[in-house]
Structure 1
Amino acid sequence: MEPENGTPLPLAFDGVVLHQRLSDALPELAERVLERLVDHVPVYDTMPAEQLKEIRRVVEQGIGSFAAMLRTGRLPTDDQLLSLRQSAAKRAEEGVPVEAVVRAYHVGAQECLRQMLGHATADDLEHVQAVTVLVFPFLERMTVTVVAGFFAERQAVLGEEQSARQALLTALVEGADVAGTAARWGLDVPPCYLVLDLALGTHPDEELDRVSPVIAGKRKLRRLRVELDRHVDGTVLSALSSEGGLALIPCRIEPDQVSDQDWARVAAALSHMRQVAGIDITAGAAAAAPGDIPAAVTLAQEVRRVAAASERPPGLYRLPDVLLEYQLMRPGPARNELARLVRPLTTRPELLDTVRTYLRCGLSRRDTAQALCVHPNTVDYRLRRAAEITGLDVTSGPDALRARAAVSALDAAQGAAGTSPSRTR
């Protein structure tokens, strides 16, 4: 009889067949493997006695499979390794790291070799070589089996966790039975959520000809989720695409207790996310109790849109940050009348853009010229022409305030109509 590598069986050291040596030493070998794991792999040192007893049985099964391979010369089949695959799935369910699970089998193989090689003589060279050749495919088969079982269970757990998160997010956003949904999935509901409506910029990779925009977009989202989870204490509920979406950050205080320092930490996390992902991120934000999430989502969306319409830079914005623009952009007769003041400039986009930039630059003609890449004299000329057309001299205090309100109202009206103001240089 020959094993798969062609060496005659039975394999033996010093006249004693190897599978018999391993079978006779099985209890002692299993104990040594378990001791090494407890001493050198921290997670095993924290396991209860009942779990260690189960792991010892798995170790014995692994050594038995190795002994059977030495007896037959054939690697164990998938059916023969089913119990080891199931054991790996249990470890995944228990939260044992996969590297700790795999290491147990390598430690077992090392102890088996040590047990056998201690009896080898100079006349056993051919069988030593045969055993060495068999060890590597055996470890490969065991590792593949264990990892497959581990990650099949881990994916199932992650899928269930994701389903639970999405169910709770849906209930919160739709104003459904939040308490009942949380109880069904075994989730905790905090007293408050920080609601973020996110607009994500395009990563440069998404615009490269030879790069899949779908893959680049998913990489961008993965970086964002990793950083969001890293900076947040608790489970973030999110529904994000490559363009943006919603994120609910759990908060262990009541909404009216959320301080400026709390928001500053969220803004800092958002800034770090921008750097890591390499994109612009603008977020509208609001704090709300679980039952008030639908209204908070609407408010966060409106705040983010107002910040974008008023040309705020990327960052985190709450209602107090855009209070004036928010009120000016609300539909009504006053907004329409304000928009009418500067509407004639829509036919002269270079004038409207100059007025908007001048207001944004704090009434500085030099900064305005630099932002528009034109000469300061050109800025003066355009502002005079705008004043002639509208009757608003933005270089004077009272008219500057009215012009700022009028431009915000115009942007809001055009946004509601599905158009956007022109931008020129």
Structure 2
Amino acid sequence: MSTAVTATVAALRREADGVVDTVVDRIVAEIPSYAAVPRERLRLGIAVSVRDGLGHLFGVEAGAFPAFTEEDAAAVGADRADRGIPVEDLLHAYRIGIRTVWERFTEEARRNGVEPDAILALSDRVWDWADAAMLRAAREHRRVDLEAALDAEQKRGAFVRALLSGTLDRSVLTLQAAAFGLDPDRYYLPFRARSGKDARALVALLVPYFPHTTPPVTLFDGDVAGLLARRPSPRLRGDAVVGIGPAVRPAEAVDAFDRATRALDTAWRFGMTGVFDLADLGLHAAVVAEAEIGMLLHERYLTPVRDLPDIERTVVTYLEGGMHVEDAARALFVHPNTLRNRLRRFEELTGADLRDHRTLAELWWALAHQRLGR
């Protein structure tokens, strides 16, 4: 290192306190988020950086980066993350500090007659040092940020699962609800959702319907579950199936979530997609819940024609077509009399009366039960 450079560094060391104050003033003026850092703490961190830069940048081999300087940068990154300062502002503050120190260095270097080529060479080392410091600070900032986000997400998920499953102590429900952005007196829609996509894609579909930007949502036995502020549109994109419970206060979410679960299970088993509550699904939910009744009705109405597929297909087409003989015959490409004969044969084999509403309801139940078994 030349005598001129040594004199320049010595001058900067003597006025280091003033340089640090200038850096602090510029950071506070240019970056509003730094109001979260007490001035003395901010000044201490900047003083450490200036000390490291002046004490080692011009006194070590090119490219060297002392281990304790990395530790200092990491500590700054962690502190700024803890205070909620974005990583972009952290890097901006570093650039302000480096620019301020470098401006002062070049002024003093010219005064001491340092050659321009020497200043340029030192500039490369300055930015090598700065890049390393900023990279280390940013990495630590992101690590702390990620850990905090994961911790908050895990805590929120645990709260939502406890709320929906009924394992949350009511004495602390109000406090915890408020902590996670829920109004204990507001009505929400418990939901449970499933699709062939990953959970994040499913949550993205529901984002417009959550009560706020940090949605009360979690994984519940592999499904996405939580609370919505309003009901989604009946048809969501893709193969998503969403079961919705009635609107309730958070403290009353357990029974409503149970209904959402039943709605989801029913729609999923019948191959439906979209958004459903139990009322939307009608007797389909009863078919799922009362498997024994479905089995008995299946034995009565469908087992007798198990080996006669034409008859079963005729009955199904007839019922699905609104019980119009001519329409069903056209759909099956048979003569109407052939269709009538098949219907009579079905009645003979099963004892059914296709003009009786109770029989028609039971037959529908038997066919719905059969769909679940396929």
TM superposition score normalised by structure 2: 0.76
The answer to whether the 8 Å contact 1:11/1:71 transfers is no
Query: Which AA in structure 1 matches 2:56?
Result: M
Q: Tell me the residue number matched to 2:17.
A: 27
Q: Give me the whole-angstrom Cα distance separating, in 1, the residues matched to 2:317 and 2:154.
A: 47
- Structure 2, unpaired ranges of 5+: none
Q: Tell me the residue number matched to 2:284.
A: 325
Q: Give me the whole-angstrom Cα distance separating, in 1, the residues matched to 2:167 and 2:149.
A: 24
Task: Say which of 195, 199, 206 aligns to 1:221.
Answer: 199
Task: Say which of 46, 52, 58 aligns to 1:71.
Answer: 58
Q: Tell me the residue number matched to 1:286.
A: 245
Task: Say which of 211, 216, 239 aligns to 1:233.
Answer: 211
The answer to whether the 8 Å contact 2:233/2:275 transfers is yes
Q: Tell me the residue number matched to 2:193.
A: 198
Query: Which AA in structure 1 matches 2:42?
Result: I
Task: Say which of 82, 102, 118 aligns to 1:113.
Answer: 102
Counterparts in 2 of 1:96 and 1:318: CA distance versus 1, 3 Å: same
Q: Tell me the residue number matched to 1:160.
A: 151
- Structure 1, unpaired ranges of 5+: 1-8, 204-219, 252-261, 370-374
Does residue 61 of structure 1 match 2:18?
no
Task: Say which of 27, 40, 56 aligns to 1:37.
Answer: 27
Does residue 296 of structure 1 match 2:256?
yes
Q: Tell me the residue number matched to 2:134.
A: 143
Counterparts in 2 of 1:116 and 1:193: CA distance versus 1, 3 Å: same
Does residue 86 of structure 1 match 2:86?
no
The answer to whether the 8 Å contact 2:347/2:354 transfers is no
Moved more, 227-236 or 138-147: 227-236
Moved more, 286-295 or 144-153: 286-295
Which secondary structure does the structure 1 equivalent of 2:218 belong to? Answer: strand
The answer to whether the 8 Å contact 1:85/1:146 transfers is yes
Greater Cα radius of gyration, structure 1 or 2: 2
**Counterparts in 2 of 1:343-358, with a 5 A limit?**
343-344=303-304, 347=307
Q: Tell me the residue number matched to 1:97.
A: 86
The answer to whether the 8 Å contact 1:33/1:111 transfers is yes
Q: Give me the whole-angstrom Cα distance separating, in 2, the residues matched to 1:240 and 1:387.
A: 47
Counterparts in 2 of 1:137 and 1:376: CA distance versus 1, 3 Å: same
Query: Which AA in structure 2 matches 1:232?
Result: F
Q: Give me the whole-angstrom Cα distance separating, in 2, the residues matched to 1:282 and 1:103.
A: 45
Task: Say which of 343, 351, 363 aligns to 1:387.
Answer: 343
Q: Give me the whole-angstrom Cα distance separating, in 2, the residues matched to 1:335 and 1:284.
A: 23
Q: Give me the whole-angstrom Cα distance separating, in 2, the residues matched to 1:368 and 1:22.
A: 96
Which secondary structure does the structure 1 equivalent of 2:66 belong to? Answer: coil
Q: Deviations over 1:73-123 (max 9, x none)?
A: 354423234243223212212211111112211221122222222344485
Q: Tell me the residue number matched to 1:254.
A: none
Counterparts in 2 of 1:124 and 1:315: CA distance versus 1, 3 Å: same
Following TM superposition, by how much is the alpha carbon of 1:58 offset from its aligned partner in structure 2, in angstroms? Answer: 1.6
What fraction of aligned residue pairs are identical, expressed as a percent?
18
Q: Give me the whole-angstrom Cα distance separating, in 2, the residues matched to 1:22 and 1:306.
A: 75
Which secondary structure does the structure 2 equivalent of 1:151 belong to? Answer: helix
The answer to whether the 8 Å contact 1:197/1:297 transfers is yes
Which secondary structure does the structure 1 equivalent of 2:52 belong to? Answer: helix
Q: Deviations over 1:312-344 (max 9, x none)?
A: 4x2100112112332455427764554332445
The answer to whether the 8 Å contact 1:171/1:181 transfers is no
The answer to whether the 8 Å contact 1:200/1:282 transfers is yes
Which secondary structure does the structure 2 equivalent of 1:239 belong to? Answer: strand
Q: Give me the whole-angstrom Cα distance separating, in 2, the residues matched to 1:114 and 1:367.
A: 89
Which secondary structure does the structure 2 equivalent of 1:176 belong to? Answer: coil
Q: Give me the whole-angstrom Cα distance separating, in 2, the residues matched to 1:343 and 1:195.
A: 40
The answer to whether the 8 Å contact 1:91/1:150 transfers is yes
Q: Tell me the residue number matched to 2:368.
A: 411
Q: Give me the whole-angstrom Cα distance separating, in 2, the residues matched to 1:311 and 1:365.
A: 29
**Counterparts in 2 of 1:178-197, with a 5 A limit?**
178-179=169-170, 187=180, 190-191=184-185, 192-197=187-192
Count of paired positions: 357
Following TM superposition, by how much is the alpha carbon of 1:282 offset from its aligned partner in structure 2, in angstroms? Answer: 0.8
Q: Give me the whole-angstrom Cα distance separating, in 1, the residues matched to 2:8 and 2:150.
A: 45
Q: Give me the whole-angstrom Cα distance separating, in 1, the residues matched to 2:277 and 2:190.
A: 10
Counterparts in 2 of 1:310 and 1:408: CA distance versus 1, 3 Å: farther
Counterparts in 2 of 1:90 and 1:345: CA distance versus 1, 3 Å: farther
Q: Deviations over 1:5-42 (max 9, x none)?
A: xxxx25745xx634324323433433443344344434
The answer to whether the 8 Å contact 1:18/1:67 transfers is no
Task: Say which of 341, 345, 350 aligns to 2:301.
Answer: 341
Following TM superposition, by how much is the alpha carbon of 1:142 offset from its aligned partner in structure 2, in angstroms? Answer: 0.8
